[in-house]
Amino acid sequence: MNDSTGAATRTSPVIAIDNPEDERISVFRNVRERDVVGRNGFIAEGTVVLERLLASPHFRPTCLLILKNRLAGIEPLLHSVPADVPIYIADRSVMNLIAGFPVHRGVLAHGEPAGADPGIDVALASLAVRRKTVVCLIGLANHDNMGAVFRNAAAFEAGAVLIDRSCCDPFYRKAIRVSVGQVFHIPILRFETPAEMLAALMRHGFEVLALTPRGGEAVSGFVPNGATALVLGTEGEGLSPDILERTRTARIEISPQVDSLNVATAAALVLHHIFTRKQQ
């Protein structure tokens, strides 16, 4: 491994970090603690997620922190890192001290939004015209579930994920990882309240379908007309009666012996149904 040779084969600089207190890598400092509070940008970890970040039209890396002995192995991926994005490298002990936990994957990136946000109404209008399906989350609390919803949304070509203020952060490190980096590719539309979210969907002519174990119709019989908005609620509690009263409701047929499905799994089932229906 030779840093200067490595730097010569790509345009972005490779910079060795020996001191965990180095100010240049401060965005990676104590990642675990900073995950749970507000922060600027986000931390992506692992090569698969980094690859998705580099391919994203909505986000970009600001800098990378790579384990020294992983550099050679991910050389091809690093060729697509923009020239103005520094690549910091460190050995394992320094990297763990910086991050504040054992960074098994050896690949961290700090990222931020790129490009202008078109705004909610422009985005929804475009999605409605293209008859896309959107996933609407109200009070989703678990980061694994948040990530899994994005992974499933991507698998079945949902056009956006709408979240209300009470949802957990899709850019929390674990949510990014579980999403396999799909949070960087599916537009996220943020609303203060469920009422504002539903009003915007109605305004743009979405067919709103709220999922609940006591839904009025079985999902397997649902025939989508135009753009569909699938609404999902909090783990455990589900959607509030207030929301269910104002929307068309559907249920997934499951065993009467069983209480419920995982929310991201439920999303996958409905999205798959709509996806295959639209292809018929």
Contact residues for a copy of itself, defined by CB under 8 A: 144, 148, 151-152, 154-157, 180, 182, 218, 220, 252-255, 257-259, 261-262, 264-265, 268-269, 272, 275-276, 279
Q: How far is CA 182 from CA 58, 89, 132, 146, 149, in A?
A: 11, 26, 17, 11, 9
Closest separation in Å from C-beta 182 to a copy of itself: 8
Choose among 129, 130, 199: nearest CA to 164. 199
Cα separation, 51 vs 25, whole angstroms: 21
For residues 5 and 279, which CB has a smaller minimum distance to a copy of itself in the complex?
279
What span, in angstroms and rounded, lies between the C-alpha atoms of 17 and 68? Answer: 10
Nearer to a copy of itself, 110 or 185 (CB): 185
Name the residue nearer to a copy of itself (CB basis): 166 or 265: 265
Question: Please, which residue, 145 or 247, has the CB nearer to a copy of itself?
Answer: 145
Shortest distance, position 102 Cβ to a copy of itself, whole Å: 16
Comparing CB distances to a copy of itself, the nearer of 133 and 247 is 133
CB of 107 to a copy of itself, least distance (A): 17
Strand-pair partners of 112: 60
Closest CB 154 distance from a copy of itself, rounded Å: 5
**Alpha carbon distance 278, 276 (integer Å):** 5
Write down the least CB distance from residue 143 to a copy of itself, Å. 13
H-helix or E-strand spanning residue 202? helix 194-203
**Cα separations (Å) of 157 from 34, 186, 278?**
32, 9, 11
Nearer to a copy of itself, 75 or 253 (CB): 253
CB of 278 to a copy of itself, least distance (A): 11
Cα 146 from Cα 165, distance rounded (Å)? 14
